[in-house]
Structure 1
Amino acid sequence: MTKPNSAETHHPETPKPKGWHLGVMARLRAYFFAGILVTAPVSISFYLAWQFIKFMDNQVAPFLPPTFHNLIWDIPGFGLVMVVVGLTVTGFLTAGFAGRLIVRISDFVLARMPVIRSIYSAVKQIFETMLAQKANAFREVALIQYPRQGVWTIAFITGTTAGEVKGHFDEEMVNVYVPTTPNPTSGFLLFLPRAELRVLNMSVEDGLKMVLSTGIIVPDWHGGEDQPELPIRT
């Protein structure tokens, strides 16, 4: 019996599809973007935190004796700790009778200085509102028709309209803040009838994520695909 020729028993390698390398590249590209998605938020957060700490250290350094300068550079965050301690001590001192008297005198003087009084009054009222929680600022997200009928945008309810503005309307008005995208620190203050708002169930954090991502990030909603018209909160 003759042995089969080696050339006859050799099985040629199965050719790979022409587009196999395209599938590998697509997978590698997906892994690359997944890596960015994981590392970028962490890296940027740590970078901004580090820059803030360095900024506070540099601001505190000129007020300390020269012997402390090396200590600041050797211990990152020392300036930030000094600021926190200083603010805490200031709050403790102003809680007493002498501290309250000094604050009242300062208010009296600043309230009578041209230009400065307007800035001081606005800044003080904003901080008192935010820290003392006198208003439900940025506690609810709503949809409003802006800049024209039929076009909807996300807005944040900052309070109920009061004062002179309220006096010009018979119906209940609401203060809403319409942020710009992707920078929510700038925007528009609008006064709208409460009946024209569609209050959403999403959190303020989710609403800000939508604004910052220009609508790319959409929070989960468990109401189904066919979303009914949301009731107006009163």
Structure 2
Amino acid sequence: MKKYLIAGLLTWMPLAITIWVMLWVVGLMDGMFNGVLGLFDTLVPGLVKLKDIPGLGVLVTLALMLLTGVFVTNIFGQWWVQQWDRLLNRIPIVKSIYSSVKQVSDTLFSSSGNAFREAVLVQYPREGSWTIAFVTGRPSGEVAAHLVGEHVSLYVPTTPNPTSGFFLMMPKSSIKPLAMSVDEALKYIISMGVVAPPASAVAQPEEADPNRRG
């Protein structure tokens, strides 16, 4: 009986968690959409009835993001984005939060950026203890001036929740690049090492050359 219960649990759990996450995302989008409808309901009576249509908030949010992307990719839209940035950067407290989030999002989601493009192996939290980290860039500015040699910026995620973690700056010579992709590394971290990457993603050690002299 116990064996069958565990087998059934392992079958349904991934699907249940996936559905739960998707419902949370849909609920978040619908909540934002319903909040906007509540603001405009006094101007357009009856607009709040659109809340009863399930999934409409998701469609409207996706359409809004698509239209916004089309708008900001042309010269006229870029000018408006610059004016918006200048306005928010003049508001105390708001400018600190907005500018920080914008810099991080631009770095992470930029197609030309290197953030979270490579998984590496590092010794953390002590020598002899290894964990997986993601390269987020290189130290710069005043911080780089105090570091001797070439360093890299790393994000070490926690398990099983990779959204929290630690920011480290380590010598490049102390990290070991991994052949696995970022997605495979995240699966490995979230599963606490249970879901290992496929053998094809693991770098095979070089065979010893019999003609090489030590």
TM-score tier, shorter chain, comes to: 0.7 to 0.9
State the distance in 1 between where 2:120 and 2:108 align: 20
Note if 1:72 corresponds to 2:45: no
The CA deviation at 1:96 is 4.6
Query: What runs of 5+ residues in structure 2 fail to find an aligned partner?
Result: 207-214
Give the aligned residue type for 1:56: M
Query: What runs of 5+ residues in structure 1 fail to find an aligned partner?
Result: 1-27, 230-234
Report the CA distance shift for 1:193/1:41 in structure 2 as closer, same or farther (over 3 A): same
Contact 2:133/2:157 (<8 A) preserved: yes
Note if 1:103 corresponds to 2:76: no
The CA deviation at 1:32 is 2.2
The count of corresponding residues between Structure 1 and Structure 2 is: 199
The CA deviation at 1:36 is 1.4
The CA deviation at 1:220 is 3.3
Cα deviation, 1:64-99, whole Å, max 9, x if unaligned, reads 34534444323x211111111122223333445543
Give the SS at the match of 1:87. helix
Note if 1:59 corresponds to 2:27: no
State the distance in 2 between where 1:197 and 1:152 align: 10
State the distance in 2 between where 1:200 and 1:96 align: 39
Give the aligned residue type for 2:115: A
State the distance in 2 between where 1:55 and 1:222 align: 38
State the distance in 2 between where 1:109 and 1:222 align: 50
State the distance in 2 between where 1:99 and 1:201 align: 40
Cα deviation, 1:17-76, whole Å, max 9, x if unaligned, reads xxxxxxxxxxx43332222112111122112212321221122123234534444323x2
* Paired position in structure 1 for 2:188: 210
The CA deviation at 1:117 is 1.4
Larger Rg: 1
* Paired position in structure 2 for 1:124: 102
Identity of aligned residues (%): 40
**When the two structures are superposed, what TM-score results if normalisation uses the length of structure 2?**
0.81
The CA deviation at 1:185 is 0.8
* Paired position in structure 2 for 1:163: 141
1:1-234 to structure 2, matched below 5 A, reads 28-64=1-37, 65=41, 67-74=46-53, 76-221=54-199, 228=205
Contact 2:139/2:151 (<8 A) preserved: yes
**When the two structures are superposed, what TM-score results if normalisation uses the length of structure 1?**
0.75
State the distance in 1 between where 2:68 and 2:150 align: 41
The CA deviation at 1:139 is 1.8
